[in-house]
Structures are given as C-alpha cells and as structure tokens.
Amino acid sequence: MRRAPISPDKPKVGITTGDPAGIGPEIVLKAVAEGEVRAVCSPVLFGPASELRRQSAEIGLNAAILSTYSEELNVSPTGSTALIYDTGDPSESISWGTRSAGAGRAAIVAIETCVRFCRAGKLDAMATAPINKESLKLAGSPFPGHTEMITSLCGIDDSLMCFFAGNLRVFLLTIHTSLSDAISVIKRNRIVRSIILADRELRRFGVEHPRIAVAGLNPHAGEHGLFGTEEQREIEPAILECRSDHKIDVSGPFAADTLFLRAWRGEFDAVGACYHDQGLIAVKCLSFGRAVNVTLGLPIIRTSVDHGTAFDIAGKGIADHRSMVEAIKLAAKLVRQTSRSH
C-alpha cells in the first residue's frame, strides 16, 4: 500500500486502539496504513505495543510500527512508520470477542494517557477506537462510556455527544441512560445549556452562523399537548430563552420523523435529539460507517468511530475501518478549523 510522506507541520493526532478484544486494534492499524490518513496528520497510537504486534501478525496486517517510550513524544513519524506510545502489557491474556477486566483496563489506560498528552499540548487531537462498556465495568470504571470518561479527565462538567454525518450533525441531549430516565431529565435548563454549548462549539469548528433545530420528544412533537406535554413545558421555553436571551438561531421542537431528513438536505446545521436512539437511528441509517462521533465542549479535540467493538468478527481481519479513517481525518480537519477561528 502506498504511503504518503508526513511533514512536521501536520496535526499530531493521538489514536487510542480501544478494547483489545474487539476490532479496535485492527481498524486502527488498517487506518494508519492509508495514504489519505497519513497525508493529513501525524498519527500516534496509544495502546499495548505487544498486543498490537501480535494482532498485526495473526491477522496479517502490513502495518510498519515504531514503539517509543519518550514522554515528550519528540520522535516524529516518517512516511513508512506510525508511532506507538506503549501503554504496557494487558494484565491478563486477551481473547478476541471476550469481555474481561484486563481488556477494559488496557482500554482505560490508553485513553487516560492520550488525554493527558492532549491536555499537555503534546498532541493536537485524539481519535478513539471502540471500547466495551461491560469490560469497563469489570475493570472498575465508574463511567458508562468514552464521553463521560473523557469529560471527567478534562475536569469539566458539561459536554455533548455529537455525530457528524455529511450534511447532518446531531447532538444528544441525553446519552447513556435508560429511555425512562432520559424522558425524566429533559428539562428546560438542561436543554438551554446544551443549545448554548452546541452553538459555541459549532462556531469553534467552522460553522459561522449555526442553524440549530430541536426534535420533539413525543410523536408529532406532542401535537400541542395531545401526545405529551414535555414540548410545551420544557422544550419550547428552552428554545425561546436561547433565541431571546442568547441570540441563538434555534427553532423547534419539530416532529422527529421528518426533522433529520430536513437537516440532511441542508435546512439546518445541527439537530438536538432528546435521547440516544432518536438521534443515532437517523445518523446510522443515513451514514453508517462514515459518521464520526465528536465530543463538544472539551478543551481538547476528540473524535471517534460510529460503531462498537464488534466482538463477533474480532480477529477475523474483515472489519471495515472506514469510520476510523473518517474519525482521524475529521480530527485533523477540526484542528485546522480551530486554528483558523483563533
């Protein structure tokens, strides 16, 4: 595979290899071998080097790798190598497709290390491969996912999970919680904070005048109270407050069954979804394997894939790495857009 040369002025993107029992290492190794990735950034992998070498050999991947233990990350990648910051051997042997505390801990250490380097200014952005939430729990993590963990590591209270999928951007008002709990926390103050954060971050990432729409929680956005009152009690007042007090171009609530298509066609720059599946079904139907998860509100740039660990195909060498490619490329693009905005 042809490899593009890397110049020292390209953004340095840290890439965590995810749960080693899943497809994370495979898609990362495949992604950094792509010329289109190496053309836009200098990739630095974070994970257990021994495990990456083992998987590369067993799956038959032709990924040239270079380990570095330099805390300063002074070694620069060349056109034929990708740096690996070795985060240490897993605490137990890794079996593909198996949930374990060892796999969870390996993923956590890689994330913690990469975030630390980003916050110290040694990396320009990070892109993350998928982790398994059950393995995280087995490893003793209090966090249900990447977004909550990285938000805490960055020392902030509020962040948003947002998916970039071509013309469609979807941010979630609630993330990893049950549907009943999500409904109970869709409150005016939460919605206002989320809209303000989304507007600010979209401007940071190059959208000069964001047009934001908010989906209704209930069928037909409640139909004026016939199918639920959350729109009238919580969502509409939040939108009005953001328009009047914060001068944000936000509208809604709109019926969710048509809103995402309207945004996809260019009517809005971003959509606020009330709960996880409301937003993610639209994203994955329209752009699965091409969408990128971006965490809004962080002091660092973080992107991720739009899928999970795919334990059923781990170790088979057949995982599609396109979303990983897109996540890395978008991370590099956001670095450049953020630099221009300043």
| pLDDT, tens digit, 9 for 90 and up, residues 24-76 | 999 999 999 888 998 999 899 999 988 888 888 888 876 555 555 555 555 55
Question: How much is the pLDDT for 251?
Answer: 97
Give the per-residue pLDDT at 71: 57
pLDDT band at 234 (very low <50, low <70, confident <90, very high): very high
φ, ψ dihedrals at 305, nearest 5°:
-75, 170
CB atoms within 10 A of CB 227: 15
- Cα distances (angstroms) measured from residue 36 to each of 3, 181, 226, 271, 330: 9, 42, 51, 29, 12
> For all residues of the chain together, what is the average pLDDT?
87
Report the pLDDT averaged over residues 1-17.
67
**What is the rounded average pLDDT of the residues 9-35?**
92
215 pLDDT more than 90: yes
Instruction: Read off φ and ψ for residue 78, nearest 5 degrees.
Output: -110, -175
Q: What residue spans define the domains of the chain?
A: 1-156+298-342, 158-291
Give the phi and the psi of residue 303 in degrees, each rounded to 5: -120, 165
Q: Does domain 158-291 have CATH number 3.40.718.10?
A: yes
pLDDT of residue 2: 33
As a whole number of angstroms, the distance between CA 15 and CA 85 comes to 10
Structure confidence by residue, pLDDT tens digits, 106-132:
999 999 999 999 999 999 999 999 999
Q: What is the pLDDT of residue 191?
A: 96
Strand-strand pairing, 65-68 and 160-165: unpaired
Q: Where are the beta strands (DSSP E) in the chain?
A: 12-16, 42-47, 65-68, 82-86, 125-128, 160-165, 168-172, 212-215, 250-254, 270-273, 292-296, 302-304
* pLDDT of the residue at 72: 58
Q: Are strands 250-254 and 168-172 parallel, antiparallel or unpaired?
A: unpaired
In this predicted structure, what is the pLDDT of residue 190? 95
Cβ(250)–Cβ(243) under 8 Å?
yes
For domain 1-156+298-342, the CATH architecture is 3-Layer(aba) Sandwich (3.40)
Crossing angle of helices 188-204 and 236-246, rounded to 10°: 50
**The predicted structure's pLDDT at residue 288:** 76
Percent pLDDT > 90 in the chain is: 62
- Rounded to two decimals, the pTM is 0.87
Domains 1-156+298-342 and 158-291 are alike in CATH topology: yes
Strand partners, 77: none
Q: Give the pLDDT score at 64.
A: 56
- Residues 63-93 have pLDDT tens digits of 555 555 555 555 555 555 678 898 988 878 8
C-beta separation of 311 from 335 below 8 A: no
Per residue in 252-306, pLDDT tens? 999 999 999 999 999 999 999 999 999 999 998 888 778 899 999 999 999 999 8
Residue (of 66, 287, 338, 277) closest to 164 by Cα position: 287
pLDDT number for residue 340? 60
- Band (pLDDT 50/70/90 cuts) for residue 173 is very high
4 pLDDT band, cuts 50/70/90, is very low
Of 3-7, 8-12, 283-287, 303-307, the poorest mean pLDDT is in 3-7
